[in-house]
Amino acid sequence: MCGIVGYVGAQQAGPLLLEGLARLEHRGYDSAGIAVLGGSGAAASQPRVVKRAGRVRDLVEAVPQRFAGKVGIGHTRWATHGPATDANAHPHTDASGDVAVVHNGILDNAAALRARLTEDGVELRSDTDTEVLAHLIGLSTADTLEARVAETLRVVEGTYGVAVVHAAFPDRIVVARNGSPLIIGVGEKEMHVASDLAALVRYTTTVAHLEDGEMATLTAGGFTTYRQDLSATSTRPTTLDIDPAAYEAEMVLGAGESHMHREIHEQPQTAERALRGRLDERFGTAHLGGLNMDPREVRAIRRVKVLGCGSAYYVGQMGASLIEELARVPADAEAASEFRYRNPIIEPDTLYVAVSQSGETIDTLLAVQEIRRKGGRVIGLVNVVGSAIARECDGGIYLHAGPEVSVASTKALTNMFVGFALLALQLGRVRDLSIADGRRLIDGLRRLPEQIAEVLDQEKQVAAVAERLAEAESLFFIGRVRGFPVAREGAQKLKEVSYRHAEAYQTSELKHGPLALISPAVPTVAIVPSDELTDRNVAALHEVAARRGPLVVVTHADVDLGGLDVQRIDVPRNERELDPILLTVPLQLLALHAAQHLGLDVDKPRNLAKSVTVE
């Protein structure tokens, strides 16, 4: 979940590292640091390190104006071992100061390695697991930096993305990956490395993705890849079909603007982009060539299992419901973080769907690897081209949401829903969905972008509701069947950015316990679509109101709430299968404005980071 950058070439490394860290700050923002090699005079002998607790801007202020060097590494941290302090910030050095290391991941045997180093007389200066890497590399007597790093990695257990510089080898960076992403960027007589494309695309779109267990050496002239036994691997760079300008534009904010606000308002355009070229009116179906499945293989599917974490899990529940309803095949969603550990039965006629914005979510990636290890077929719904999950899957659907910087997912989540709708449509039409129903859903999908814009036009009204909700310490979100995952996602968003306790329940479950907590101090946000369950949902609202519980109802204009005194947010109606995403959009605005009313940073909520690459 931390951000790593590195550079070797003819330019001064310091400014490039600082800029790269600023672009990766959504991956971790409790501390940051850089180490540079290659200055003049005495400064050339060892890496010079500057690191600070706090944001990247605090690091920028601490870096001296004269900080020369053409080889360097940098890191922005999301704490796993030890609090956010200057001492715990990366890079970490060995006792001599010759070695500097940055690391993303968790070393499972760090405690044992720390104890061993302490017994050998090494003085540890931080609480981190990463520091042991620097000391072990520094103590190695191998002839090359590559051999020293490989020797160290053979004794550590856990996940890592690592970048290392050494005073004795001032022309290179050695990097290694095991479960935590690292991407090499190939420039003109210069090389870059980063844990996220956002730090690279300004300089190059020619990249090489390291695989687990792989290492690489970067010099100004190029890169080589190899295994831990130093035997060569054949990793080659590829040129990604992405628009660097999109990344550049996403990083620039106007005065008072937040990434989350902008990304919410981009959703009409990003949803339209996800649909472009994928709808077939003639046959009432979707074109998803990336699935790599012919109709015979689709018909052989007997079950669909969706795997995701956080918001991806909740939209996966929406997607599973869509697939079951349209394709008439059993479908369910499960938290990827739990899936692997229960020794799941992998069935040959089950289609597994992995959902991830970043394509690097470690729990989801490990679940995909477990499925493939046992012979299952897995496809991905992924936003980032060339990411680890995208490469591991048998096929998939790119979301085309564009770069998403805010930690709380909004436009990527909406495009996940669109991706599920397209998948359900294609599966359904191969099976039992009529061409008339296929065309009905295509018409609904085409209306979605304009209807999302209609919801966003109500922002001022939603903001007023959000300010009142922000005063509550605890809230309920309720919904039923299609509305329940919407409620779960709404509670998640509010928790993420406003730090208010929010709990989602099925509306039908209120009487089975949660109703005891309803009071004037506990508002309820209810999802009430106009569907076959409207009357029952409205009856539940009356039960809440009878106990003097404040109500906010996200619904459709034709729903009669029976004279209840509630704060009401109406959204446009679409086809009932597609309504959940329109009911979700105002909940994004509620969370955003509640957090802003409380004076909080909506883009970088406390304790969280954008890409969860550690278990």
Q: Just list the catalytic residues.
A: 2, 610
Q: Which of 574, 555, 558 is nearest to 566 (CA)?
A: 555
Q: Give CA–CA dist 599/615, Å, rounded.
A: 31
Task: Tell how many helices (H) and how many strands (E) occur in the chain.
Answer: 19, 26
**For residues 175 and 217, what is the distance between their CA atoms, to the nearest angstrom?**
6
Q: Of 406, 526, 355, 299, whose CA–CA distance to 26 is shortest?
A: 406
How open is the CA angle 311-313-314, to the nearest 5 degrees?
Answer: 65
Q: Please list the alpha-helical segments (H only) found in 285-410.
A: 295-299, 311-327, 336-339, 362-373, 388-392
Pairing of strands 551-556, 524-528: parallel
Which regions of 465-523 does DSSP assign to beta strands (E)? 474-479, 501-506
- CA-CA distance, 351 to 379, in Å (whole number)? 8
Q: Using alpha carbons, list the distances in angstroms from residue 546 to 68, 429, 519, 540.
A: 70, 46, 10, 10
CA distance 444 to 279: 11
**Which tokens go with 148?**
């020293």
The span from the CA of 148 to the CA of 455, in Å, is: 57
Are the beta carbons of 77 and 31 closer than 8 angstroms? Answer: yes
Residue 340: what are its φ and ψ, rounded to 5°? -65, -30
Nearest-CA neighbor of 542 among 525, 561, 569, 519? 561
Q: Is 360 helix (H, G, I), strand (E, B) or coil?
A: coil
Residues 370, 301: Cα–Cα separation, whole Å? 19
Q: Please tell me what DSSP assigns to residue 97.
A: S
Sign of CA dihedral 267, 272, 274, 280: positive
Q: Does residue 129 contact residue 108 with C-beta atoms inside 8 Å? A: no
Residues across the chain: 615
Q: What would the 3-class secondary structure string for 173-223 be?
A: EEEEEEECCCEEEECCCCEEEECCHHHCCCCCCEEEECCCCEEEEEECCEE
